[in-house]
Chain A
Amino acid sequence: MKEIAASLLMAFNVFVLFYFIAINSSYLLFVLIAARRVPRTYHRTVLQGLGELETSPLMPGVSIIAAAFNEQAGIVQSVRSMLELKYPKFEVVVVDDGSTDDTFELLRQEFDLVEVPRVVEDLVPTIGTVLSTHVPRGDESLVVVRKTNSGRRADASNVGINAASYELIAIVDADCVMDRDGLLRVAMPFANDPDRVIATGGVIRVANGCVIDRGEVLSTGMPRSWLARIQVVEYLRAFLLGRVGWTALNGLLIISGAFGMFRRDIVIAVGGFDLHCIGEDAELVARMHRHMRSGGLPYRMLLVSDTVNWTEVPENVKVLGRQRRRWSRGLTELIIKHWAMMLNPKYGRIGMVVMPYFLVFEAIGPFVELAGFVTVLMGLYFGILNLDFAAFFLLVALGYGILVSLAAVAVDDMSRAVYRGYRNLLILLLSAIVENIGFRQLHAWWRIRGVVSGVMGSDSGWGTMTRTGLGAGPAAAKTENP
């Protein structure tokens, strides 16, 4: 019996070793794919002719939809920032999701809002009730919709979809700061290929540590807290380079709800955001894939790597943990809901490659990772493993992981190089190391809890995030980070 247990333990440890080699190799592959594309795209921005398109009648109309719940800290600045985007034809639709603070009142005063009987049809399902709609007396292209809160951001987004006027919708977080020409960049693929492109995503970067004034990023810097610093590297590796890699393989499954643009008619055709899914942004993309493939319709979804939306990330462990559990639960719900796509050739690369990848490496992965560390320790304790094996395991699990994170930093440095100065570089490099020692394991624990919650169907809720607001002013921005 003892020997059987020992054999099983040995076999599992070997399996975990190969698992770490596989997952880190896949991350490295994405980084290498992105290494070719991202710097090239960035350095060739000058050849895109964006300046001429800022006022061009050739660009399609866009409705920017921002759901806001208790965003009084930065809502006016965010909306101002959106209204000053360089784009010829767009509107901003802010959905006040039953805020209990002064979110609406601040908007009302700032933009001199007046109530109008705007028709908001039930094109996609919603739960909450629309209470009123408001537009400015001035000529700002702004619509503010007030609704009752239903506890789901997806509901607010769906109300925004119903209220929107234009053929493209951009879903953004109300507290994000976009590059001034960000809308232009993510809309370009639609303008150039209106029949096939159905979704594009922008890049999300960490705003903590940046100096933001009146909705514009004046200078970038590494955050003060190590938790935020680690997320800088993580966002680079996973959300920028990873998704560029998936775009190159035609397998983009996740477009961040913080910055995604979609063809409105397709979103309506698939029923909008799922009101009962925590990861509603990814789930919508999966459903769009399914819809297009089931219909045999040609389509493309892509990440636009040279446009950035800056967002505030949690600097509190509890809040971050809640966020990551929620993301993980959302992914689990997506996999369960779209299980029919798994290894189904009808869904092409999405079914045969992307879904299995996310199942193995993102859903099951954290179990394997944590269990691996535990069983290696157990193996050492019971004398089944020797120190050489343990050292090799750590090399693969941690050393290889650090290599991937550093490679991600290198690719970013060859392109946008957001973090200037050697001090910022040193912090970035250290963060790439620390990300893999301690944070990754803690993250795995949060993800495990999220997966379990997703499988059990328990309500983890959204919770609240303490926001300091982006850019009360340059000095304030620097002191607000602990």
Chain B
Amino acid sequence: MDTLNIPLPVVQVSAAVIVLANIVVVAFILVYRIAEAALARRRAPSLKLARQGMLLAATSTEPPVDVSTVSTMKTGGSSRAMMLAAVKFLSSLKGQAHDDLVEYLDHGGYRKLAVRDLHSKDGLTRGVACELLGALAATDSAADLVELVKDNDRDVRKAAVRAVGRLRDADAASALIDSLEGDRSVSPIPVAAALLQIGPACEPVLRGSLHAPDPGVRAIACRVIGLLNLTGARSEVIDLLQSDSEVRPRIEAAHALGRLGGTRVQSPLLTCLASATDPNLRAAAAGALAGIADKQGLAALTVALDDPSASVCRAAGRAIVACGPLGRSALAGVANPRRAAEYAAEFIAIDNIRRARSASPAEPDRGAQP
């Protein structure tokens, strides 16, 4: 009978390769750990000094400023570690302590370090430099940061957008909106957050963006307009709610109108609630009527308690409750259909609990949500 043979040299070579590969991997793990520990030990003294300096600065004590250590640091892990320590410290402080620390970091060469590291070949270093310049509100680096909004590294773009937001430079609003599109786009959340930080000064750009070809841009513009309470854009947002071809911008427009308020918003919202085919849009319209619905609005909302979509019913219930005594009275009057009455009962019960809680003496914090 034949036997199945693997030539011995093949076996030997294979054994050697696999055993060697395993040894190499284990060795790599060990070397990596040892190297990491050595690096951390090497950086520890300067980091410790830096942290002490920052702590002293934040407590208004005159810290020793060693400019040479920081500003002459080579671009890389060490400079990054220093900048990160600074960013972390800054983010934990407010008021005078924050300002004192900013001054210390400026004089201590950190700003220079960050400006230099904006041009580092390493994306992580560029990103951390953006974070620090944003935390320092380094307005003279605005042009460089806006440039980095188009960086080839996605995370650097995000960090640059956040930094630009912290500079609160209205001139950068266009660049932020532009960053939502194209090959080197930025995720919408950091862009929206940056526009919120810039504040009402970016209103002209936002109003222009309501007519952008990209529905994502229109949606973000609506959202920020609502959160900034830019009532001057109300008419345009109403137009968008009524006539945009895409659902997402219309949903954001509904949310925005809820925040903007005013006498003219109820009618388009009610039309949306009654006739929109997308349940998310109807839910947004219902939610937007919270606190602003009059008798007509409340009547429409109580009808919406029997919407085919549960999320619309729930949004309507919340909106009715937010209308205070009128809303409670409207809920109490809901007897039919049965489903609407069940939702009404739920929100009456929830409202009763909330009112009992408000009326009772303050209790210790038990992990309540912000």
Contact = CB atoms under 8 A, between A and B. Distances in A.
A343 interface: no
Q: Chain B's interface: helix, strand, loop or mixed, by majority?
A: helix
Contacts of B7: 388
B72 interface: no
A395 interface: yes
Contacts of B343: 119
Contact of A47 (B22, B156, B192): B156
Interface stretch (B137-145, B182-190, B325-333): B182-190
Contact of A46 (B8, B131, B345): B131
A138 B366 contact: yes
Given A47-B128, A165-B314, A384-B3, A392 B10 contact: yes
Interface in B243-281: 248, 279-280
A298 interface: no
Given A58-B193, A410-B29, A138 B6 contact: no
Contacts of B29: 406, 409-410, 413, 425, 429
B360 to A, nearest CB: 9
A194 to B, nearest CB: 7
B5 A388 contact: yes
A80 B368 CA distance: 10
Contact of A385 (B4, B21, B124, B367): B4
B353 A140 contact: no
Nearest to B368: A139
B346 interface: yes
B6 A265 contact: no
B84 A46 contact: yes
Nearest to B220: A58
Contact of A117 (B26, B28, B30, B349): B349
Interface stretch (A82-90, A248-256, A472-480): A82-90
Interface stretch (A203-211, A284-292, A351-359, A396-404): A396-404
Most chain B CB within 10 A, of A13, A53, A195, is at A195
Interface string A52-71: 11011111000000000000
Interface in B49-106: 84, 87, 91
Interface stretch (A2-10, A319-327, A328-336, A451-459): A2-10
Contacts of A276: none
Nearest to B16: A395
B367 A402 contact: no
A386 B227 CA distance: 76
B45 interface: no
A463 interface: no
Interface string B152-173: 0001101100100000000000
A52 B191 CA distance: 12
A388 B8 contact: yes
Contact of A192 (B15, B18, B188): B188
Contacts of B156: 47
Interface string A244-287: 00000000000000000000010000000000000000000000
B187 A116 contact: no
A47 B131 contact: yes
A192 B189 contact: yes
Contacts of B187: 191-193
B223 A58 contact: yes
A384 B1 contact: yes
A395 B357 contact: no
A14 B30 CA distance: 36
Given A191-B189, A395-B15, A399-B22, A119 B127 contact: no
Contacts of B280: 167, 265
A140 B369 contact: yes
Chain B contact-residue range equals 35 or more
A44 B124 contact: yes
Interface string A1-37: 0110010001001100000000000000000000000
Given A44-B155, A117-B349, A140 B189 contact: no
A385 B3 contact: yes
A317 interface: no
A337 interface: no
B14 interface: yes
A101 interface: no
A367 interface: no
B11 A395 contact: yes
A422 B26 CA distance: 12
Given A384-B1, A413-B33, A90 B369 contact: yes
B285 interface: no
Interface in A430-482: none
A58 B195 CA distance: 12
Contacts of B6: 388-389, 392
A114 B188 CA distance: 40
A51 B190 CA distance: 12
Contacts of B346: 116-119
A118 to B, nearest CB: 5
B370 interface: yes
A106 interface: no
A60 to B, nearest CB: 10
A165 B196 CA distance: 27
A318 interface: no
B310 A119 contact: yes
Contact of B28 (A53, A383, A395, A410): A410
Contacts of B87: 46
A53 B248 CA distance: 21
A425 B33 contact: yes
A413 B32 contact: yes
Interface string A399-427: 11011001101100110010000100100
A47 B131 CA distance: 8
B189 A188 contact: yes
Contacts of A10: 2, 4
B353 A55 contact: no
Most chain B CB within 10 A, of A51, A88, A117, A141, is at A117
B206 to A, nearest CB: 15
Contact of A392 (B11, B158, B345): B11
Contacts of B8: 388
A88 B369 CA distance: 8
Contact of A49 (B1, B33, B162): B162
Interface in A75-124: 80, 83-84, 88, 90, 111, 114, 116-119, 121, 123
A194 B248 contact: yes
B18 A57 contact: no
A391 B349 contact: no
Most chain B CB within 10 A, of A47, A57, A193, is at A47
Contact of B4 (A44, A47, A389): A389
B288 interface: no
A137 B25 contact: no
A388 B155 contact: no
A121 B314 CA distance: 11
Nearest to B14: A395
Contact of A119 (B2, B19, B32, B313): B313
Contacts of B370: 55, 88
A192 B248 CA distance: 13
A410 B33 contact: no
A257 to B, nearest CB: 23
B78 to A, nearest CB: 15
Given A49-B190, A139-B357, A165-B311, 7 more contacts: A47-B127, A47-B128, A49-B193, A83-B367, A135-B350, A191-B188, A429-B26
10 contacts: A49-B190, A49-B193, A114-B353, A139-B357, A140-B368, A191-B188, A392-B11, A395-B15, A403-B22, A410-B32
Identify the 6 closest CB pairs spanning chains A and B, nearest first. Answer: A192-B187, A399-B18, A47-B127, A47-B155, A116-B349, A406-B25
